[in-house]
Structure 1
Amino acid sequence: MKPTVSCIQNDSLYIQVASTGADTLPLLLLIHGAPGAWWGYMNILDDPDLQKKFHIVSVDRLGYGKSRFKNKKFITSIQTQAQCLSAVLSLNKSNEKAIILGRSYGAPIAASIAAMQPDKVKELILVSPVIDPEKEKFYWFSKWGRNRLVQLFLPREFNAATAEKYAHSEELRQMLPIWKNVTVPTTVLQGGNDWIADPENIDFAKKHIASTQTQFILLPNAGHMITFSHADLLKEMILRINSYNEKSITIDLSEVEVAGGK
């Protein structure tokens, strides 16, 4: 099914979204990382079982695709991203609260939305989250992304990702007081072989997320792209969240090193 692409806009804000499933179904909001785009979640948008249960909405974050805020090229503020993307919750026409899934750099934004509007969020899922301000990873090529000459030849999304990366640690430090407001049921999935999001991010999540209903899953052999490598596991989790109030999930324990919560 081809997604319906539309926008949410006002005088200063333009957010491009792509959606599948009836808009009267519960909202499943998908937030990508850096770089990224709404089509990075095509495997979820295109899933017929999920389409029957959810109005699936994948967004272009500010600075990516056509989404923008006050004509600024890049928005490195996690809180500004969250405040603007929370407008997408207005698309929820069901009587159910939304499920929000954030991947990588999209995870702290998803968590911030859940902290700001817990009355509108049923569950939060953080996949391969980059949330620990002390574990931001840089690479030999990272500095070249800040070279203005090099930037002339790079797509806007790559330049946006570079701007976010160099501001991210400080943004995460500013977010530290916000984690105590993340009170909705939360699941964190982390890969043990993730070379982008340090696996110790899951320990940060255990320490700082305030919700009394949490589930932490470490997949020792998984990398960063869990939404693809463990798509069936993620799909089962989402469907069970929609079907039951209590957490109940069957996981292949041969792949899971740590699974627990509070």
Structure 2
Amino acid sequence: MSNTLFITGATSGFGEACARRFAEAGWKLVLTGRREERLNALCAELSKQTEVHGLVLDVRDRKAMEEAIANLPPSFAKLRGLINNAGLALGADPAPKCSLDDWDTMVDTNIKGLMYSTRLLLPRLIAHGRGAGIVNLGSVAGSYPYPGSHVYGGTKAFVQQFSLSLRCDLQGTGVRVSNIEPGLCESEFSLVRFAGDQERYNATYAGADPIQPQDIAETIFWVLNAPAHININTLELMPVSQTWAGFAIDRSGGKA
């Protein structure tokens, strides 16, 4: 039986790295992304290694997601894996200075988009049964708060709890659910967060030897290829250079 994998947000970062890793192993791919030119180029490249079906989609658009998934070609209809990668952070300012539009976008993408793809694809994963798996891209921000994480961290806490709850609902189906929680990872993700500020992006990773998207792709490949009787519930990864900060204490008496 051939293995078919559905990846959201496949045009950059973790999604693109996963597409390349699984194509190398011969998995058939359904790839989604908002940027048509990038998606078409990636599909054309990877189609030299495996069968690829591209969908120009924004995961926030429920109707478009419903139509695209309902009309998947028969050869891509039965899935073994889903990687819910589409997501973003916007801004890193304190909450009082943030844009409500940015908050809406993070909630709509990181929570609702993940909900849509998961619910719409569950019947196909259940039809595959034993060995099928869902991998959700969480973040250490879902467990450890830091200044400026506010809504982004909240969305990733949702991913964490949603992943655990799915495990309960899918008991007996053979479908596995994993939440991958990266720490500092160098990718276009941060360039988006900083609104294209290359200097701020460079400063974030300078001297840190951060995780690379290929590291996450290799991890996810291992998770989805683990023996069918094993579920990796949650996997947290950080570069060796990154650790936890101490508690912040305000000593101004609230007059800062």
Q: TM over 0.5, yes or no?
A: no
Higher helix share: 2
Higher strand share: 1
* Higher relative contact order structure (alpha carbons within 8 Å, sequence separation ≥ 6): 2
TM-score range, shorter chain: 0.3 to 0.5
Structure showing greater radius of gyration is: 2
For normalisation by structure 1, the TM-score amounts to 0.44
